[in-house]
Amino acid sequence: MRNEIIVKKLLAYTDKILDYCKDFDYERFSANSLLVEACVFNLSQMGELANRIDDDFARRRSDIPFRALYGLRNRIVHDYEGVNLALIWEIIQDDLPALRDALLTIPQDQSDSPEGR
């Protein structure tokens, strides 16, 4: 059940970010501090959730970058050399749609079962 809840939350955060940014380009995104902060906050929340996924589940779903999400969260939260907005935008544009697609392939009733994928 825990993995199922986490997957649903990850999907919800992903959908929020993609919705927030759907009518923006990088120039408008980077100039909108409210939008940037909302996206960065949601990405950090996603990283925190990714760290709570069971290790067995994460190994079975190696197509989902749980460790990378947590690493991004650490960079955001600890502000290592400042948040790189170009990188954040690239993640939003290039990585989140693929992450969303991967999350959608997880059957809700199998996200906690050892055999499920």
The string of pLDDT tens digits covering residues 10-24 is 999 999 999 999 999
24-81 confidence digits (pLDDT tens): 999 999 999 999 999 999 999 999 999 999 999 999 999 999 999 999 999 888 885 6
Q: Is residue 111 part of a domain?
A: no
Q: Is residue 17 part of a domain?
A: yes
Q: How confident is the model at residue 113 (pLDDT cuts 50, 70, 90)?
A: low
Q: Is residue 113 part of a domain?
A: no
Residue 7 DSSP SS3 = helix
Q: Is residue 25 part of a domain?
A: yes
Q: What percent of the chain has pLDDT over 90?
A: 80
Q: Is residue 59 part of a domain?
A: yes
Number of domains the chain is built from: 1
Q: Is residue 112 part of a domain?
A: no
Q: Which domain holds residue 45?
A: 2-106
- Dist CA 34 CA 71 (whole Å): 23
